[in-house]
Amino acid sequence: MLDVVSADTRLVATDPGIPGLRDVLSPLGLVRRLAPAWDVADARVVYLRYKPATSLVAGLRLTAADGATSFVQALALGVGAPEKLAKVVRAGDGDDVGRGAVVDPRLGVALSDVTADRHLPGVGRVLHDADGAVTPLVYKPGRRWVAREERTDGSAVLVKVHRRSAVAGVLAGHAALTGLPVVTVAEARERRGTVRHPWLPGRPLDALVGPGLPDLWSCAGAVLAAVHAQPSAEGLQRVDRAVELAAAVAAVRAVAPLDLAAAAASTAERVLAQAGEAVSPRVVHGDFSADQVIVRPDLAGSAAPAADQPAVTLVDLDRVGLDDPAADLASWYGALVATGTGPGDPHEVLAPLLEGYLGAGGDPSVVGRLRLLSAAAVLQRATEPFRRHLPDWPEQVARLVTTARELAS
């Protein structure tokens, strides 16, 4: 089994077109060299986005000498991209909230505080305007930043900062599911890219164990049936499975051996060939999984909820769109497999979810397409172990590609 250092070394050796690849994948030395004033005791990669010979973008979690943590972006560029470094410098110079940016033009690398992410200018405004504590939770450079924001009145909100161009789609997804047990929008500022939601008490379903779990899965399935019953709404985009699978195959090809890339490509072809005639699209969650379901506090083992609080609430509606409704069920399965659950037959693994879904009037035709779309869902998550820079990411990528191929066979 390759460890992460050996796996990263192999990746670096195959891509000499990005000189700073090694430095970003092992970032502590890079941070200490370029930004000694940041006083960093540890630096860990928590997110990766990679285009061979072009760029590696990394979200880093830094731990200071006093134990405080923060997010920054590290960027390694292909040879001959000075204009991109210049953009990083300009964004850093305009950062009046955080630590700005530092670059090494010779190596083609840069470090930017989250407040200097030029694609997410709302982060700086959130931190500048906050009247209470802000605890960052998630950072995907150039894509999304999520934090818990405390208010002086004792309340809390979940604040998300998106690219400004993405906010209209996010709001359309929320509007499409109005009236269902889903997280609501408390405030949105499209110009800043910020969307705030009430902080939901309770725990995510994927964090719970015990004999009551099948019933909670069934509750989630019933809510999903209600999602699929919603009428189509303005602003929702139809999912293009061919495009999504092509992106998944390209991602595997970028980090995996040729035989795995070939297996990923043949799996995608098989899924698309067997899909046959297009299914009439329905409104879908788009990223349905157990971590997107919040269980109310009394059922999650904490404080009592408000009397009118539903058993479960769906969150993270950023990818609500139009698709085959079976894709949502397959997404739940794909997330389970990606986090280490043994694959198994999707119909058996998802039995409690299907029971709640079909019992609440969900589309019964999804059962016949579940295995095929589960193959697609697993393949689309095949490079998540690399994106999260897990210690055994090569083996995990291989496991997911193999599982997808077997499901599609």
* Predicted confidence pLDDT, tens digits, the chain (409 residues): 566 788 899 999 999 999 999 999 999 999 999 999 999 999 999 999 999 999 999 999 999 989 999 999 999 999 878 899 999 999 999 999 999 999 999 999 999 999 999 999 999 999 999 888 999 999 999 999 999 999 888 889 999 999 999 999 999 999 999 999 999 999 999 999 999 999 999 999 999 988 889 999 999 999 999 999 999 999 999 999 999 999 999 999 999 999 999 999 999 999 999 876 668 899 999 999 999 999 998 876 554 445 567 899 999 999 999 999 999 999 999 999 999 887 899 999 999 999 999 999 999 999 999 999 999 999 999 999 999 999 999 999 999 999 999 999 9
- Cα-flanking dihedrals φ and ψ of residue 181, to 5°? -75, 75
Q: How far apart are the first and last CA of the chain?
A: 27
In 126-228, at which residue ranges do the beta strands (DSSP E only) sit?
Answer: 134-140, 144-150, 156-162, 187-189, 194-198, 203-204
| Cα–Cα dist 403/406, whole Å | 5
| Cα–Cα dist 18/204, whole Å | 39
Could you confirm whether domain 202-408 is CATH 3.30.365.10? Answer: no
List all residues 6 or more positions away from 206 whose beta carbon is below 8 Å from its beta carbon. 289, 290, 291, 293, 335, 339
Give 52: exposed, middle or buried? Use CB within 10 Å, 0-12, 13-18, 19+: middle
Looking at the chain, which residues constitute the CATH 3.30.200.20 domain(s)? 119-199
CATH fold of the domain at 4-113: Phosphorylase Kinase; domain 1 (3.30.200)
User: Which residues on adjacent β-strands are paired with residue 111?
Assistant: 74, 102
Closest of 4, 31, 171, 37 to residue 110, by C-alpha: 31
**Of the options 3.40.50.300, 3.30.200.20, 3.10.580.10, 3.40.50.10950, the CATH number for the domain spanning 119-199:** 3.30.200.20
Looking at the chain, which residues constitute the CATH 3.90.1200.10 domain(s)? 202-408
| Cα–Cα dist 262/401, whole Å | 10
